[in-house]
Amino acid sequence: MSIDDIIESFGLLDDWEDRYRYLIELGRDLPPFPDSARTAANKVEGCASQVWLETRVGPGPDPVLTFVGDSDAHLVKGLVAVLLVLYSGRPASEIRSTDALQVLDGLGLREHLTPQRSNGLRSMVGRIRAEAERALAAA
């Protein structure tokens, strides 16, 4: 699944209840998150819900980052799924230049989220981009 698939599916859904259900389904489709990865280091600060992101960094001058994530809230888990589709498996330089908030605004998503969830979403994006910066600096 690509971000274009998600955008297309969103476009086919007329009301926000259906879009919320779709996000929840995306979250349910995430691979299981290992209990051993539910650590303070993997916890995303700034989220009202519990959110964990684990990062794996590949070798090379522009390392590919792979993310796995989870949340204890169904809707937030769906947001995690969207961010993983957008960012996971991509080179650090591409992650750094991809504006997830612009993509999500294109879906009309952020205007339908509570302020707390919007802040949490910004925290998740910030964490992913910071991981990309660290990977580039270490390469």
In CATH, what number is assigned to the domain containing residue 76? 3.90.1010.10
Q: Residue 9 carries which side chain, given as an amino acid letter?
A: S
Site of tokens 């910030």: 126
Residue 41 structural domain: 3-138
> How many Cα atoms are found within 13 Å in the side-chain-facing hemisphere of 82?
30
What's the number of domains the chain is made of? 1
Which pLDDT value is given to residue 12?
Answer: 92
Average pLDDT value for residue range 45-58: 94
Residue 45 has pLDDT above 80, yes or no: yes
Catalytic positions? 47
Instruction: Give residue 29's pLDDT.
Output: 96
Per the prediction, the chain carries an average pLDDT of: 93
Q: For the purposes of burial, counting CB atoms within 10 Å of the CB of 59, is it exposed (0-12), middle (13-18) or buried (19 or more)? A: exposed
Q: How high is the pLDDT of residue 62?
A: 96
Q: Which helix (H) or strand (E) holds 51?
A: strand 51-57
